[in-house]
Amino acid sequence: MASARKGHKSFKPLLVVASITFPILIIFYVTHQNSIFDIFQDVNLMIEGFHNTTTNISESVVNKDAKNNTFEDEKNDKKLFGGLLVSSFDEASCISRFQSYLYRRPSPYKPSEYLISRLRNYESLHQSCGPHTKSYNEIIREGANFSKAGVDSKCKYLVWTAIEGLGNRMISLVSTFLYAILTDRVLLVRFENDMLDLFCEPFPNSSWLLPKNSTYWNDLRQFKTCENVFENNKENNSHTVLFLDLMNNNVRVTNRFHCDQNQDLLQNIPVVILRSNEYFVPSLFLTSSFRQEFNKMFPDKDTTFHLLGRYLFHPSNVVWKRIQNVYDSHLAKENERIGLQIRIYNTRQTPEETIINETISCLQQNKLLPQLNIQSSMSLNLEKNTSKAVLVVSLYSRYGERLKSIYENNTSLSREVVKVYQPSHEEHQNSGDNIHNIKAWSEIYLLGLCDALITSPTSTFGYVAHSLGGMKPLVLQSIYGRTIPNLPCQRLKYMEPCFHDPPNYDCTTNTNVDFTSLFNLRRCEDQSRGMKIINS
Ligand code: GDP
């Protein structure tokens, strides 16, 4: 009853409007020869206009709402990275997923429509085959003893295992994810406690963690390796699981992984356990049966890690808090932020002062930091005071301390204020430790938030930082002894990480080949034996 009365009440103003406007429109029609259809449109607009005034929605409010909508859409687009990400996650479980756009500069690199559709397809496959589904229970929980014959072939799995430092792990994980997409396998990760606090779940309504009660957590030596299968070019039909070891020193498997006939053999194996310390994406491009899909997903090949990395790696709430604290307290207020990664593999080989001098030389030659006014404390230049922050990321405290004392105890010729900050100095690599990895991941991420970046050669830690940040950094030259090269650093031409030890085997001719002279592949700028995928 009540709603009927309400309906009658709201109908009354419409009748009033119609009785006034209809005669006016008829006269208008006669004089302007409008079609009857136009008249009804006009009536509609007038009624809408009247309705708006009677309900007190002023024109300015309507416009403001429209503007807000565009703003909301844009914000969502930035948040969701042009459709790369989906919105169906609970914000509290992964704050960085919803807030990172406030800290990162917008990426100029957009995902292709095809990549977006492959990701959505992958997500639904993961949801229907992931942990605790029927297929998962049959194949993964029960483990290697299941019978291949009775298994739903829709669900095949790729189990990633961790090895070496976080940078190596992240480049190999992105490569493994792309391999999973290309082979319609479900990616499950063997994360020990040292990895559990780093990332949010990347796939909606499911988990990528291999549950601890699965037999695929067993010692890797227990599983049959791909080596024999590849070399004999024959698959024993009863294999339910194979161990694919793509470590840099496993040349025999790395060399034959990209052969189509070997991919055909792997296709029939329900579970593949993969281990690698490499960015083996170029091998996937080399595999001719994958190439067309690869090209469709990544028309701009230099964005492969950037897009897949931003899809997969969202800092956990613990890591995000650390990133925010460092950024808000030390970087946000400065006019410019310069990220500086100093990765020293052998501290005894290169004296600290040589590295500092090379770094300062790189910073000054590239006009990232001003020259110092060593002779006089009086300022010589009248440029206005601007401040720059240098974020030093290193295992060792001495680099940050030294740069801090140099820049904070001397005035600069340009009167710019330079503040140096190093968030941690672990002194030793300790990749099996949770807190250590939390620091490493937050620093990798922070480097990618800077406006300019200098990294160390061949470091996968640096590769992840620049590629996630969407940057082509300046890379310091390797130093041997005490001599600083004339060119202390050079800018990377390409954003992709380097595949340090790529294959050199031609599957069709059974001979060695240098792939960097073919296809969209080049030698890495910082490692001549390495290989990178580029745009042609
Ligand atoms: P790569 O060895 O330079 O290729 O990089 P990885 O990330 O694979 O391995 C180095 C590991 O050492 C990192 O994952 C960290 O655990 C640690 N590490 C190296 N440099 C730094 C640094 O600057 N900051 C922090 N917090 N950890 C570092």
pTM of the model: 0.85
Under the banding of pLDDT at 50, 70 and 90, the label for residue 330 is very high
- What confidence score (pLDDT) does residue 11 get? 40
Averaged pLDDT score across all residues of the chain = 85
- What confidence score (pLDDT) does residue 216 get? 92
For the cut 90, the answer to whether the pLDDT of residue 261 exceeds it is yes
**Among protein residues, the one whose CA lies closest to atom 23 of ligand 1:** 394
Residue 198 Cα, ligand 1 centroid: separation in angstroms? 14
For the cut 90, the answer to whether the pLDDT of residue 376 exceeds it is no
**Among protein residues, the one whose CA lies closest to atom 9 of ligand 1:** 165
- CA angle 352–358–363, rounded 5-degree value: 125
Distance between CA 56 and CA 51 in Å, rounded?
9
Regarding the beta carbon of 165 and ligand 1, being less than 6 Å apart is answered yes
Contacts of 30 (CB under 8 A, 6+ apart): none
Residue 515 Cα, ligand 1 centroid: separation in angstroms? 30
The predicted-structure confidence for 273-323, as pLDDT tens digits, reads as follows 999 999 999 999 999 999 999 999 999 999 999 999 999 999 999 999 999
The predicted-structure confidence for 125-165, as pLDDT tens digits, reads as follows 999 999 999 999 888 876 656 666 555 568 999 999 999 99
The predicted-structure confidence for 223-245, as pLDDT tens digits, reads as follows 999 998 888 777 676 788 999 99
Residue environment code for 184-215, b if the CB has 16+ CB neighbours within 10 A, otherwise e: ebbbbbbbeebbebbbbbbbbebebebeeebe
Closest CA to 285 of 502, 24, 16: 502
For the cut 60, the answer to whether the pLDDT of residue 35 exceeds it is no
Under the banding of pLDDT at 50, 70 and 90, the label for residue 435 is very high
474: left (phi over 0), alpha (psi -120 to 50) or beta: beta
In SS3 terms, 460-523 reads as HHHHHHHHHHCCCCEEECCCCCCCCCCCCEEECCCCCCCECCCCCEECCCCEECCHHHCCCEEE
- What confidence score (pLDDT) does residue 371 get? 85
What's the rounded mean pLDDT across residues 329-352?
92
Regarding the beta carbon of 164 and ligand 1, being less than 6 Å apart is answered yes
Distance between CA 118 and CA 84 in Å, rounded?
10
Statement: 317-533 belongs to CATH 1.25.40.10: no
Closest CA to 312 of 70, 54, 96, 529: 96
Regarding the beta carbon of 459 and ligand 1, being less than 6 Å apart is answered yes
- What confidence score (pLDDT) does residue 138 get? 85
Residue 340 Cα, ligand 1 centroid: separation in angstroms? 13
For the cut 50, the answer to whether the pLDDT of residue 117 exceeds it is yes
The predicted-structure confidence for 189-227, as pLDDT tens digits, reads as follows 999 999 999 999 999 999 999 999 898 998 999 999 999
Distance between CA 126 and CA 117 in Å, rounded?
14
What's the rounded mean pLDDT across residues 156-178?
98
Of 149-158, 411-420, 439-448, the one with minimum mean pLDDT is: 149-158
Regarding the beta carbon of 443 and ligand 1, being less than 6 Å apart is answered yes
Structure tokens at 234: 């024959």
For the cut 80, the answer to whether the pLDDT of residue 462 exceeds it is yes
DSSP 8-class letter at 220: G
- What confidence score (pLDDT) does residue 18 get? 45
Residue 455 Cα, ligand 1 centroid: separation in angstroms? 12
For the cut 70, the answer to whether the pLDDT of residue 530 exceeds it is yes
Residue 215 Cα, ligand 1 centroid: separation in angstroms? 31
Regarding the beta carbon of 500 and ligand 1, being less than 6 Å apart is answered no
For the cut 70, the answer to whether the pLDDT of residue 61 exceeds it is no
The CATH 3.40.50.11350 portion of the chain extends over 317-533
For the cut 60, the answer to whether the pLDDT of residue 14 exceeds it is no
- What confidence score (pLDDT) does residue 36 get? 33
Closest CA to 185 of 240, 130, 147: 130
Under the banding of pLDDT at 50, 70 and 90, the label for residue 412 is confident
- What confidence score (pLDDT) does residue 420 get? 96
What's the rounded mean pLDDT across residues 457-485?
94
Pairing between β-strand 474-476 and β-strand 511-512 as defined by DSSP bridges? unpaired
- What confidence score (pLDDT) does residue 25 get? 41
Distance between CA 80 and CA 243 in Å, rounded?
35
374 phi, psi to nearest 5 deg: -70, -40
Helix boundaries (H) for 298-423: 304-312, 317-326, 352-365, 397-409
Q: What is the DSSP string of 266-306?
A: HHT-SEEEEE-SS--HHHHHHSHHHHHHHHHH-SSGGGHHH
What's the rounded mean pLDDT across residues 391-398?
97
- What confidence score (pLDDT) does residue 58 get? 36
The predicted-structure confidence for 82-100, as pLDDT tens digits, reads as follows 999 999 899 999 999 999 9
Structure tokens at 296: 């469709």
What's the rounded mean pLDDT across residues 415-431?
93
Distance between CA 116 and CA 299 in Å, rounded?
13
